[in-house]
Structure 1
Amino acid sequence: MTSKAASTFVYVTFIRTTPEQLWSALTSPEFTKQYWFGVHHETDWKAGSSWKLVFPDGRVADTGEIVEIDPPRHMVLRWRNEFRPELKAEGYSRCVIDVEAVGNAAKLTIMHSLDREDSKFIDAVSGGWPRILSNLKSLLETGEVALPS
């Protein structure tokens, strides 16, 4: 029996903020729009609830489900791209978000994976997450995003 390898992207950053403030920034639709190029989440942030990312023009970017949630420390999302057919065809990925206090900062770890070798979706998020999270870090620390849309 052969097992297929998973494609995984991991991003770790330290942000001069509290875990609670970081969690709020990750889950507040209005705040998310500021660092995620106008995109926002629609969900009630409860385990088992549906979740989606919506473009500024109302189109759905990504959909999924809240698999696990333990504010302000841990969240697992089931995540599928909806607007690029070749990415949607790969199915659902798993996005694990962990937040922990480290001194006067919060450590944010994002691990996005898909049970498929050479995933085009994971390749796409490996370019997107650094831009989004750089904006988040800059916005929380300075009040301005690093990369305006």
Structure 2
Amino acid sequence: MSKQKTSFVYVTYIRSTPEKVFEAITKPDIARRYWGHENVSDWQPGSKWEHVRANDERTVELVGEVIETAPPSRLVISWANASEASDPEAHSRVTFDIVEYESMVRLTVSHDELEAGSGMANGISKGWPAVLSSLKSYLETGTPIDVFARPKNEG
């Protein structure tokens, strides 16, 4: 019996260009500023990509493969924890759709093929809003938010 799958979709509008948004996702030196990680690949279909923590340890936390690339409007990658890279069942898929709207961009991130109730599904539902808010802040103001911030105790 196959496991139940779920998906997560996040849409945001950014005062930027499709080219700058695509570069922010795919260029390691930009991604590290707002994400705290670098996305490392040559971004050709079939190529591997790695999500590398931008610190002294340089831990590879996520891995996958480039499924489709159409700069600056679309990028599709597979996505898995590095520890589960060899298990095809552990891979999900992320699609970045970038559409120009006059002086801004609509960025839609669809993360699907997730195992319902899994740690990955739970993690990305918190992670994507923080990362994409940071991307928006960074591109619009030059200053990212702290994607590693935690809620303050309410007691």
**What's the TM-score, normalizing by structure 2?**
0.85
CA distance in 1, matches of 2:35, 2:71: 21
Asked if structure 2 preserves the Cα contact closer than 8 Å seen for 1:25 and 1:31, the reply is yes
Partner of 1:71: 71
CA distance in 1, matches of 2:41, 2:139: 22
Letter in 2 for 1:77: I
Asked if structure 2 preserves the Cα contact closer than 8 Å seen for 1:113 and 1:122, the reply is no
Matches within 5 A, 1:30-41: 30-37=29-36, 39-41=37-39
CA distance in 2, matches of 1:82, 1:107: 30
CA RMSD of aligned residues (A): 2.0
Partner of 2:94: 95
CA distance in 1, matches of 2:88, 2:77: 18
Unaligned runs of 5+ in 2: 149-155
Deviation, structure 1 residue 36: 0.6
CA distance in 2, matches of 1:125, 1:89: 19
Partner of 1:145: 144
Residues 69, 148 of structure 1: CA spacing in aligned structure 2 closer, same or farther, 3 A cutoff? closer
**Percent identity, aligned pairs only?**
37
Partner of 1:106: 105
CA distance in 2, matches of 1:71, 1:104: 18
Unaligned runs of 5+ in 1: none
CA distance in 2, matches of 1:120, 1:89: 16
Residues 94, 144 of structure 1: CA spacing in aligned structure 2 closer, same or farther, 3 A cutoff? same
Residues 148, 77 of structure 1: CA spacing in aligned structure 2 closer, same or farther, 3 A cutoff? closer
Runs of 4+ in 1 over 6 A off after TM superposition: none
**What's the TM-score, normalizing by structure 1?**
0.88
Letter in 2 for 1:127: K
Asked if structure 2 preserves the Cα contact closer than 8 Å seen for 1:7 and 1:119, the reply is no
Residue 48 of structure 1 aligns to a residue in which SS? coil
Residue 44 of structure 1 aligns to a residue in which SS? coil
Residues 148, 61 of structure 1: CA spacing in aligned structure 2 closer, same or farther, 3 A cutoff? closer
Partner of 1:20: 19
Partner of 1:116: 115
Letter in 2 for 1:76: V
